[in-house]
Amino acid sequence: MNKLRFIVLSYVLLSLQGIWLSPVWANDPPPKPAETPAAPAKAEKSTRTFEGQEPLFYFDAKRRPYIEPFHKTDEEEYFVCRGVIGEWFRQLMAEEANMLAAKDGLEKVTGSTCAVRLVATHQGKKLPIISVELYVNSNVMRSCVLGDSCPQSRTVIMYVLDKTLYRSYFITDHERKIRRAYCLDNKSKILAKEECWHHFFDKAAKEKPKDKH
């Protein structure tokens, strides 16, 4: 694992330690049609996502997709995005990543070359760390997943604070020595040019009343 990916994972590990921040995922697969007619019942509100009608992710209770990984190591697993991420959410992340990459004149992503990465952790409930990796093309994806270096990265980490979804983006280009971090709100507005956990931690620290002696 190169230095940049280690730094990104370090940020994620720190974010999971906050009791007021938690990742977003869907605990159920898409609902199946009823086999026999049932009596009318009061509609239940979905608790799987905070925006849109389709879940953000299709994960089980252990925060794992319902499909097998296409690549696996001792510490991390990679899954194709299709069937794991809601289509509308994948397109939204691609649009946000392109908006941020355009600030440095970097290549765009379409969202079709994409992977969900699960990283093993031994902290807390031992649930895996989740990131969405968007790639500019299949060659970059092959290098990032199978190689020793990642020429360009568009990594997305989700956070929830007060039932509002926020996203941390890591935008990099190894050749141009570009490394950017951003925090976006649920309306794609840039809140800070740093990771969301860092932004909220600093904000909370500033708002905390000082002890009077």
- 80-106 pLDDT tens trace: 999 999 999 999 999 999 999 999 999
* 167-176 burial code (b ≥16 CB/10 A, e <16): bbbbbbbeee
Q: What is the pLDDT of residues 151-182, one digit of tens each?
A: 999 999 988 888 888 999 999 999 999 999 99
Torsion 58-63-68-74 (CA) sign:
positive
Range in 32-36, 104-108, 112-116, 178-182 the model is least confident about: 32-36
Give the distance from CA 127 to its chain's centroid. Answer: 14
**8-state DSSP, 85:** B
Check: CB of residue 127 under 8 Å from CB of residue 60.
no
Give the mean pLDDT of 29-55: 47
Could you tell me which residue, 119 or 109, shows the higher pLDDT?
A: 109
Spatial neighbors of 102 by CB under 8 A, at least 6 apart, are 108
Give the distance from CA 101 to its chain's centroid. Answer: 17
pTM attached to this predicted model: 0.72
Quote the pLDDT of residue 212. 55
Helix ranges restricted to H, 112-151: 138-146
